[in-house]
A = this chain, B = another copy of it.
Amino acid sequence: MAVYTEVSDAALARLTQLYDIGPVTALKGIAEGVENSNYLLTTANRPYILTLYEKRVNPEDLPFFLGLMDHLAARGLTCPTPVRTRDGKLLVELEGRPAALVTFLDGVWLKSPEPRHCRAVGAAMATMHKAAAGFDIPRANALSLNGWRFYAGKLTGQADGIKPGMAALITSELSHLERHWPRTLPAGVIHADLFPNNVFFLGDRLSGLIDFYFACNDLLAYDIAIGLVAWCFTNDGQWDPASAAAFVEGYHAVRPLQPDERAALPLLMRGAALRFMLTRAYDWLHTADSALVKRLDPGEYFAKLTFLGGISQPEHLGLGA
C-alpha cells in the first residue's frame, strides 16, 4: 500500500507530451504494492498504470524489469505492457524519479484461491518461463542464499523478539540449505514473487500476471516453490495438498518437470519460506514507524517454514509424480 510521490500539475502535463496517449481523464493513487508509487491513469482511450520507482528499486534494474515485460507481452503473455514514449523510450523521469507507464490489466486477485485457480497459476508460470526464453538481459537473484545470509545477519539479536525460536530456526535452516541447495537444475528468468495479489482472474479465468519487480535469473523450480508456499496453504495456515498437486500439474502440463526438479521441491520450498520470513522480519523491524506501508506478518512464514522443515519427500506434500 503506497503512494509516496505526488505528481504535480506540471509533471502531469509533461507526461502527456512525452507519450502519445491523449489528454489524461483521471489520476488516482493505488493503494497496492509496497515498493513504488502507483497511479491509475486514464485517458479517453484506456486505463494505464503509472509507476514512479522509489528508493528500494535500483534504477540499474529497470531496463531488466521493463524489457522483460515488453518481451513477455510481445510473446503473448498477458502482463502489463510498457508504453513507449514518442521517441521510443520505456523509462522516463518524473518528479525526480524513474517512471514508466504500462497498460492496465483487467482482473481481480483472489483472497481465497481454490485448487482450480492454483492449476491455472501453475500453467501461467510455466508459460512465463517458456516465454522468457531468449530475453537476454541478466539479473542475479539478490534474494537467494547469499541474500538470506545477509538478512539473517541484520536480524541478529532481534529475531526472537519477533517470534520466540526464530533465531534458532534461521540458523539451522540456513545451514541446511547452504549444504543442500541444488546447483544443476534448469534455470531461466523467474517471477520470484508470484503471490495471489500478483495474479488476476476474471471469474475463474486467469487474466494476467503483474509485478515483475523481483524477477531475476534463478532455478525455474525455485519459482514453483515460491508459488507453492504462496498459494497452497489455506488462509488459516494449513497445507493444502490438493492445491499443491493442482499447481504442479498445471505447470507440468505446459513445461514438463524433470524428476530432479520435482524431487527438489520440498527443499526449495524451505528456501522460499525462509526468504519471505527473513524479508518480512526485516521490514517488520524497519518500517514500524512508517506511516505508509502496511507490514506483512513474518509469523506466517515462521509457521510455514517450521512445517516444511519436517518434510523431505515430495510425496508427503502431495507432489508425487
Which residues in A have some Cβ–Cβ distance to B below 8 Å? 1-3, 6-10, 12, 23-32, 40, 42, 104, 106-108, 110-112, 200, 202-203, 289-295
Contact = CB atoms under 8 A, between A and B. Distances in A.
Given A28-B30, A30-B29, A106 B1 contact: no
Contacts of A1: 3, 29, 31, 292
A106 B23 contact: no
A40 B47 CA distance: 12
Nearest to A23: B203
Oligomer: number of copies: 2
Nearest to A2: B31
> Which secondary structure dominates chain A's binding surface?
loop
Contacts of A24: 108
B28 A40 contact: yes
A103 to B, nearest CB: 12
Contacts of A293: 291
5 contacts: A1-B29, A6-B111, A24-B108, A26-B200, A292-B292
Contacts of A290: 291
Given A42-B106, A202-B25, A9 B111 contact: yes
A188 B30 CA distance: 35
A134 B2 CA distance: 41
The winner among A24, A26, A289 for most chain B CB atoms within 10 A is: A26
Nearest to A31: B29
A2 to B, nearest CB: 7
Contacts of A202: 23, 25
Contact of A40 (B2, B12, B40, B200): B40
A26 B111 CA distance: 14
A190 to B, nearest CB: 26
Contacts of A291: 290-295
A30 to B, nearest CB: 5
Given A10-B112, A29-B30, A30-B40, 18 more contacts: A1-B3, A1-B31, A3-B31, A6-B111, A8-B112, A24-B108, A25-B107, A26-B108, A28-B30, A28-B31, A28-B32, A28-B40, A30-B30, A30-B31, A42-B106, A290-B291, A291-B291, A292-B292
